[in-house]
Amino acid sequence: MNYLRSIFWGLLVAALCLGFAPSAWAFCGFYVAKADTSLYNQASQVIIARNGDRTVLTMANDYQGEVADFAMVVPVPTVLQEEQVHVGDPAIVEHLDAFSAPRLVEYFDPDPCTPVAQYAPLPSNLALSGRAEAEVLAEDALGVTVESSFTVGEYDIVILSARESDGLETWLRQNDYQIPAGASELLRPYIRQGMKFFVAKVNLEEFDRGGFQALRPLQMAYESPRFMLPIRLGMINAQAAQDLVVYLITPDGQAELTNYRTVNVPSNAEIPLFVKEEFSDFYKAMFQTAYEREGRNVAFLEYAWNLAGCDPCAAEPLTPEELRQAGVFWLTQVNTGFRPAPTSNALSNAFVTRLHVRYTRDQFPEDLAFQATSNQQFFQGRYVLRHPYTGEMNCSAGEDYQRSLPERFEQEAQTLANLTGWDISDIRTKLPATVANPIPWWRRLWR
C-alpha cells in the first residue's frame, strides 16, 4: 500500500543549547566577586525591547558561583528609581531563546515512484537560562552620589553617579565590592558621558526566603535616545571570547548594529543525517568556523521574524502575556469585549532580532550601538536533514533515485566539512551506506 504513503516532513529538533560555556553565563557589566573566587564572564543573554526612546532591558545570566559573591556593575543612561527595576521570570528568556534558536529540520524523501506531497511540522526545543545581582551604599567625598537605593526581589540595588572614576572605584572597594584591576580606567569614559551605574548584589535573606534555585533576570525600564549595550566593562574579567545573545524586540522590523557588521549565520544547509545526534557540537563548530572566517569582528544574525508567527516553529510563539513580561510594552490590546486574547493582530507589531556576538577586547573596542529599522525580511538559522526513502521501489524513477543518493550524501558531507571545518574523511565514515539496499518488504510487515 505504498501509494498511501507520501511524504511527511517531520521536524524535529534540537535546540541548541548554544552550548558555549556551561560554566558561567555572564553579562555586559562586570561581575564583582566579593570573595576571591575567580569568576569570568563567558556568555549572557539580554533582551532589549524598544519603541521610540522607551527601553526595557532584561539581563539574564547563568551565574554559577556562590550567590553571596554575586555582584554586578552596569552603566545605564539615566538614574533609575525603584519602580523602574523589576525581577523577571527566567522562563521568559528561556522561551524566547527556544523560540528563536537555530533549528534542525528533518524531511523524509517521498517514494520516488509516487510523486507529490504535503507536510506537517512538529515542534522542537532548546535551552538556556539567566539572572542578575546587587548592593547599596554612599559617600560624597569621593564624588560618588547614591542616586537611589532599593531592594527588588532578591537583589539589593544602588544607582550611582560619580564625578571621577577613582572615587567610584574607591567607593566600590570601601563597600566591599572587589573591583578587578584596571576598572577605574574603564569606568571613566562612562562617567564622562554622564552615565550612571547600576550596581546590584544579592540580598541573601530575600534569596533564601524566595527559595530560588538560581538568580532571576533583572529588568530595567528607562527612556533614553541611546540604543546601546555596554560590553566594555564585561571584558575586564574575561580571559576568553565571550558570547552574548541579544534579542532586540522592536515594533517595525529588524533592529541592527550600527557600529559593527552583521552577518547572517550560515543557514538552510543540507547536512548528513548523523548530525541529528550531535547537533549541539555541529552548531558550536559551525559558529566558530563562521566566526573565524569573518574575521572575528562581526555579529551574527541567528533569527529575525515577526513575533506573530514562525515557520517552522522551534517552540510555541510567545503569548502576549509573555511578551509583556519580556518588556514589550507597546502591544495594543486589539480585543474588544467578545474576542478572546489578541493574537496575531496585536503581535504583528513586534519583531524579534536575535544577534549572537562573540567578542574579545581586541576585536570589539566599542560598545554595541543599535538602530531599529523597518526591515521586514525574515531570517532563521536552519539546517536540513533529508532522510532517503527506504521503502521498496519498483520503477525506473526509483532506480534513478537510488543512483543519485551517493552523490547527494557526498555533497552533504562536503557542506558539513565546509561549515564546521571537520575532517571530511571522518564525516564520510559516518555517512549512510551508499549501496542501494532497500529494506525487504517483509521486515516492514512484521516489524
Partner 1 sequence: MLRDARDYQIGFLTLFLLIGTLLRDWTLRPEMVATAVVTCIGTQVLLSLAQNKWLRYQRPDPLESAPESLAPVYLNWRSPLISALGLSLLLRADHLSTMALASSLAIASKFFLKSPDKHFFNPANFGIIAVLLLTHDAWVSPGQWGEDLWYGLIFLGAGGLVLKRVGRWDTTVAFLSSYILLEALRNLYLGWTWDVLAHRLMSGSLLLFALFMVTDPRSIPNARPARLLWAGAIALLTFILRNYFYQPDAVFWALFMLSPSTLLLDRLWSARRFEWWVSPQQASALLDG
Least Å distance between CB 159 and partner 1? 21
Q: Is the CB of 62 or the CB of 256 nearer to partner 1?
A: 256
For residue 194, give every residue at least 6 positions away whose Cβ sits within 8 Å of its Cβ, in sequence order, or none.
Answer: none
Q: Give the chain's largest Cα–Cα span.
A: 89
- Ramachandran class of 251: left when φ > 0, alpha when ψ lies in -120 to 50, beta otherwise: alpha
Dist CA 246 CA 372 (whole Å): 14
Contact range with partner 1 by CB under 8 A, out of 57-65, 312-320, 361-369, 415-423? 361-369
Tell which residue, 2, 64, 11, 8, has the closest CA to residue 382.
11
Task: Figure out which of the listed residues 264, 289, 306, 418 binds partner 1, where binding follows CB under 8 A.
Answer: 264
Decide: is 348 part of the binding site for partner 1 (CB under 8 A). Answer: no
Q: Is the CB of 193 or the CB of 437 nearer to partner 1?
A: 193
Contact range with partner 1 by CB under 8 A, out of 119-127, 261-269, 345-353, 439-447? 261-269
Q: Residue 443: in which H helix or E strand, if any?
A: helix 441-445
Please, is 223 exposed, middle or buried when counting C-beta atoms within 10 Å of its C-beta (0-12, 13-18, 19+)? exposed
Q: What angle do CA 27, 255, 40 make, to 5 degrees?
A: 10
Task: Figure out which of the listed residues 252, 270, 392, 410 binds partner 1, where binding follows CB under 8 A.
Answer: 252
Q: Is the CB of 90 or the CB of 167 nearer to partner 1?
A: 167
Task: Figure out which of the listed residues 152, 298, 310, 355 binds partner 1, where binding follows CB under 8 A.
Answer: 298
Dist CA 401 CA 388 (whole Å): 9
Least Å distance between CB 220 and partner 1? 18
Q: How is 67-89 classified by DSSP, letter by letter?
A: GGG-EEEEEESS---GGGEEE--
Decide: is 371 part of the binding site for partner 1 (CB under 8 A). Answer: yes
Contact range with partner 1 by CB under 8 A, out of 26-34, 93-101, 322-330, 360-368? 360-368
CA distances from 296 to 26, 170, 269, 359 (A): 20, 35, 22, 7
Rg from Cα positions in the chain: 25
In one-letter notation, the amino acid at residue 174 is Q
Decide: is 164 part of the binding site for partner 1 (CB under 8 A). Answer: no
Decide: is 225 part of the binding site for partner 1 (CB under 8 A). Answer: yes
Task: Figure out which of the listed residues 5, 54, 163, 226 binds partner 1, where binding follows CB under 8 A.
Answer: 226
Number of residues that bind partner 1 (CB under 8 A): 34
Joined grid coordinates for residue 256: 541592527
Dist CA 378 CA 303 (whole Å): 8
Task: Figure out which of the listed residues 377, 404, 411, 437 binds partner 1, where binding follows CB under 8 A.
Answer: 377
Q: Is the CB of 147 or the CB of 252 nearer to partner 1?
A: 252
Decide: is 28 part of the binding site for partner 1 (CB under 8 A). Answer: no
Dist CA 258 CA 281 (whole Å): 31
Contact range with partner 1 by CB under 8 A, out of 91-99, 112-120, 313-321, 365-373? 365-373
Q: How far apart are the first and last CA of the chain?
A: 16
Decide: is 293 part of the binding site for partner 1 (CB under 8 A). Answer: no
Decide: is 268 part of the binding site for partner 1 (CB under 8 A). Answer: no
Q: How many CB atoms are closer than 10 A to CB 344? A: 12
Decide: is 418 part of the binding site for partner 1 (CB under 8 A). Answer: no
Decide: is 396 part of the binding site for partner 1 (CB under 8 A). Answer: no
Joined grid coordinates for residue 371: 538602530
Site for partner 1 in 169-208 (CB under 8 A): 185, 188-189, 192-193
Least Å distance between CB 361 and partner 1? 9
Decide: is 360 part of the binding site for partner 1 (CB under 8 A). Answer: no
Decide: is 253 part of the binding site for partner 1 (CB under 8 A). Answer: yes
Dist CA 200 CA 85 (whole Å): 11
Dist CA 88 CA 78 (whole Å): 20
Q: Is the CB of 226 or the CB of 408 nearer to partner 1?
A: 226
**Residues of this chain that bind partner 1 (CB under 8 A):** 165, 185, 188-189, 192-193, 225-228, 252-253, 256-264, 295, 297-298, 362, 365-366, 369, 371, 373-377
